[in-house]
């Protein structure tokens, strides 16, 4: 049996949703909320709803094609790199295809007018991050510990020498091709001493530098402030500080712990929170490598 073609009302509704989606995208970018859930939840939900109400071979095929185009256009418009698209794309595809599936099931139930009713529920998850009061646990921290075959005095000497650039070792960073410091300067463990981590330009658009300063120093603990950060990573997080502490682990070994504190700048929290936690943990491992503490 030939499937009925969508009526004029469907076309009008789809057009209105698409127009609203475009307006939402423009508002998100112009208002500086491009890192909120609006971009990663609301936009694909609206796009999928519009596509689900228009004709074509398969709904999910059209959703996939248009969502992919939207991702690429957003990457260009927001000056993001491939790493950003890779991280966000599973969420965007899941929201888009989930929206399309819900609307399709509602339409198959016999009442097309009800097809749009589930959409407000799906969009409710897109308000996180649109204002400071609508953020869930944005302040995060990771702790990375490593036992090294050095006594505490030798560990302090290596820390005082400062970091040096090394090849990226942690698997998550290598798989994503995440930007890593290529030009590192600085030494010393006295308050006011500075360490600088420079990023060169690359295919990811990475550049700039992170400048840190020793805020407080104890015999076996050093606390750092972040003086400035104009790298691409500043779009994903805002540094709150860092510390390195170490203690004797016996048998000529020392346990070294790095604590990285930051504010997550991407929402929703349930998706980007665990991802950033894992990537920052890998970043802590890389920092220990740069400090010659394998």
Q: Which pLDDT belongs to residue 64?
A: 75
Each residue's pLDDT tens digit, 184-207: 999 999 999 999 999 875 434 457
Place of tokens 């139930």: 109
Each residue's pLDDT tens digit, 229-287: 998 788 889 999 999 999 999 999 999 999 999 999 988 899 999 999 999 999 999 99
State the pairing for strand pair 183-186/194-199.
antiparallel
Rounded (5°) CA angle 256-162-252? 35
Residues 6+ away with beta carbon under 8 Å from 248? 151, 152, 254
Lowest mean pLDDT among 17-26, 125-134, 205-214, 231-240: 17-26
Give the pLDDT mean for 81-97. 78
Alpha helices in the chain (DSSP H): 8-30, 37, 43-52, 59-77, 82-108, 119-123, 152-160, 171-176, 269-290
pTM: 0.74
Sheet-wide strand order for 183-186: 139-148, 253-264, 237-250, 221-229, 208-218, 194-199, 183-186
Q: Which pLDDT belongs to residue 180?
A: 83
Residues 6+ away with beta carbon under 8 Å from 265? 35, 138, 235, 236, 237, 238
The pLDDT of residue 177 is above 90: no
Angle between helices 82-108 and 269-290 (to 10 degrees): 160
Query: Three-class SS of residue 11?
Result: helix
Domains observed in the chain: 8-133 (no CATH), 139-290 (3.30.530.20)
Q: Which token pair is 37?
A: 């859930």
The whole-angstrom separation of Cα 56 and Cα 135 is 38
Give the pLDDT mean for 5-21. 61
How many CA atoms within 13 Å lie on the side-chain side of 121? Answer: 8
Of 43 and 164, the structure prediction assigns the larger pLDDT to 164
Q: Which token pair is 42?
A: 């609301």
Give the pLDDT mean for 51-69. 69
Q: Which pLDDT belongs to residue 203?
A: 38
Q: Give the pLDDT band (50/70/90) at residue 157.
A: very high
């Amino acid at each position: 049996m030939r499937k009925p073609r969508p009526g004029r009302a469907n076309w009008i509704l789809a057009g209105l949703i698409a127009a609203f989606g475009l307006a939402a995208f423009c508002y998100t970018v112009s208002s500086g909320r491009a890192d909120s859930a609006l971009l990663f939840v609301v936009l694909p939900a609206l796009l999928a709803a519009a596509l689900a109400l228009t004709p074509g071979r398969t709904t999910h095929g059209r959703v996939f094609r248009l969502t992919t185009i939207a991702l690429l256009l957003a990457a260009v418009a927001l000056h993001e790199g491939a790493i950003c698209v890779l991280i966000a794309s599973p969420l965007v595809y899941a929201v888009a295809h989930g929206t399309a599936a819900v609307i399709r099931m509602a339409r198959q139930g016999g009442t097309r007018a009800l097809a749009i009713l589930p959409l407000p529920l799906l969009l409710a998850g897109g308000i996180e991050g649109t204002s400071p009061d609508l953020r869930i646990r944005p302040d995060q921290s990771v702790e990375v510990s490593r036992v090294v075959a050095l006594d505490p005095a030798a560990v302090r000497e290596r820390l005082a020498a400062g970091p040096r650039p090394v090849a990226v070792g942690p698997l998550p960073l290598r798989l994503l091709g995440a930007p890593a410091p290529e030009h590192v300067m600085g030494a010393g463990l006295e308050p006011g001493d500075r360490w600088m981590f420079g990023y060169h330009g690359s295919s990811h658009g990475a550049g700039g530098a992170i400048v840190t300063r020793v805020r407080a120093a104890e015999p076996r603990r050093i606390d750092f402030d972040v003086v400035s950060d104009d790298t691409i990573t500043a779009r994903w997080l805002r540094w709150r500080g860092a510390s390195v502490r170490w203690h004797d682990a016996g048998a000529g070994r020392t346990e070294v712990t790095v604590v990285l504190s930051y504010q997550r700048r991407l929402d929703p929290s349930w998706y980007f929170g665990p991802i950033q936690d894992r990537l920052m943990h890998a970043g802590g491992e890389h920092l220990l490598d740069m400090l010659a503490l394998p």
